[in-house]
Structure 1
Amino acid sequence: MAAKRALIFSGGQLHPDFLKEIREDDLVIGADRGALFLIQHGVQPQLAIGDFDSLNDQETELEQIRQQAGELVVYDPIEKDLTDTEAAFEAAMERHIDEIVIFGALGTRFDHSIANVQLLIRALHHQVSCAIKDMHNYISLTSTTSVIQNQGYPYVSLLPITSEVTGIHLTGFQYPLENATLRMGHSLGISNKLAAEQGTVSIEGGLLLIIQSRD
């Protein structure tokens, strides 16, 4: 049976605790330096993909990845059209995955962070559940209804990724909303909190980022 969930380890902020989330039937993909991170922590990715220009010792470390990864795809850093994370995302989508979790998608390169967050839109349009996770953030996207579980992040912020999001209803939150509208540039949805172990966010129009976070 094909894996129904893909875990992508990209080259941003990674932590060994993320490895605890790997299940036996997951498709594990290392994007660029994320592949080296996996191998250095005893995990053999089924796929390693990227231009690998962020490796410190490219020849030695790339050979290490080649020996340990199930499959290696290397792109030319000049000729490629996709970021390494997007290439990994595309590879997961081609395998008809139901769910994708991306680790290391956020880091010091803000342009890459924004581009990776926008991958959530692509996944949503293909009806694939997708989230970005690191030690400080868990980011998902909804166009309808989402049940938000308490995952240890104290804050829940709601940010429109379209010009406005309408018909917002929150239940199970410290600050509930009923038929509210959020517009880009307004901070009304920042730093809410769950009032129990889970809450529900439903919207009628637009795309809404749900960011669970901690300092």
Structure 2
Amino acid sequence: MQINILAGGPVDLWPKNLFNEPGVWIGADRGAWYLYQHRVAMMLAVGDFDSLTSAEFEALQEHITAENIVHVRAEKDETDTELAIMFAQKQSVSCIKVFGATGGRLDHLLSNLWLMADPKFDDVVEKLEIIDQTNSVTFFKAGQHSVLKHKNSHYLGFMPINDVKNFKIIDAKYPLTLTENKYKMWSSNEFLNDRVHVSFDTGIIMVTQSIDRS
């Protein structure tokens, strides 16, 4: 099962034809309101809903059965997007696609990008993708991996999000061999064909594929 999560990030960064995605939907905070506005059925709405007015939250409650709304207090350790992913990973999930998680507040963006460094998400690290109109972000655990080029993507980047050792970019335009970890985004690389191979011994790598926004 594919689970799609819509967070409350800027609407103008949504991919085209967003709601043509297969699978089921979870709305995280204002993302649930966006799903409601577009008449998209959701299996869950979760968050503190502090970005909704009282009237909006009442309308949402009328649209969704009570058992499908998880309303948490604002003072909490987890972000709304994090709570949505925690719910998704408890399902029989083949992939988790997260939309609306970029743009807007920088602290939200950084929080979302580093969620997969948390050991509690170990079983979904390689199943999760963060997507917006010009970017795709995926994650790899230690091992040997093949990065398949997305249609129209041009730029390729790699970022260690925890203790990564012996990282190698093997057959991209700019190969790289690191014997020790450097917390640096190795950005603006490019594909020479339809895939790039990488390997590393420990940790988690964040992989970005991007195009310039017209």
Specify the TM-score bucket, using the shorter chain as the normaliser. 0.7 to 0.9
Report how many aligned residue pairs link the two structures: 204
- Note the 1:67-86 alignment, pairs <5 A: 67-69=62-64, 71-78=68-75, 80-86=76-82
Cα deviation 1:123-163 (Å, max 9, x = unaligned): 76114511111112211111221432323221001122234
Matches within 5 A, 1:140-179: 140-143=138-141, 144=143, 145-171=145-171, 173-177=172-176, 179=177
CA displacement at 1:199 relative to structure 2: 2.6
Helix, strand or coil: the match of 1:126? Answer: helix
Q: Distance in 1 between matches of 2:204 and 2:139?
A: 7
Q: 8 Å contact 2:29–2:50 — kept in the other structure? A: yes
1:19 matched to which residue of 2?
18
How far is 1:191 from its partner? 0.4
Cα distance in 2 for residues equivalent to 1:43 and 1:202: 40
Q: Is the 8 A contact 1:44 1:68 kept in 2?
A: no
Are 1:45 and 2:48 an aligned pair? no
Q: Does 1:199 align with 2:196?
A: yes
- Take 1:127 and 1:82, find their aligned partners in 2: how far apart are those partners? 17
TM-score norm. by structure 2 comes to 0.83
Q: Give the structure 1 partner of residue 129 of structure 2.
A: 131
Q: Is the 8 A contact 2:98 2:129 kept in 1?
A: yes
Do the aligned partners of 2:156 and 2:190 also contact (CA within 8 Å) in 1? Answer: yes
> Over residues 40-69 of structure 1, what are the superposed CA-to-partner deviations in whole Å (9 max), with x where a residue is unaligned?
1221211111111112xx222112222333
| Deviation larger for 66-75 or 131-140 | 66-75
Matched, 1:59 2:57: no
Deviation per CA, 1:78-125: give whole Å up to 9, x if none: 3x3321111111111122423211111122322221221122234761
Please tell me whether the aligned partners of residues 18 and 103 of structure 1 are also in contact (alpha carbons under 8 angstroms).
Answer: no
Compared with structure 1, are the counterparts of its residues 206 and 75 closer, same or farther at alpha carbon in structure 2 (3 Å cutoff)? closer
Sequence identity of aligned pairs in percent?
A: 32
The TM-score with structure 1 as length reference comes to 0.82
Whole-angstrom CA distance in 1 between matches of 2:154 and 2:184:
21
Post-superposition offset of 1:181: 4.4
Cα displacement (A) at 1:9: 0.3
C-alpha distance in structure 2 between counterparts of 1:186 and 1:22, whole Å: 33
Deviation at 1:18, TM superposition (A): 5.2
Unaligned runs of 5+ in 2: none
**Unaligned stretches of 5+ residues in structure 1:** none
Aligned to 1:34, the other structure's residue is in SS state: helix
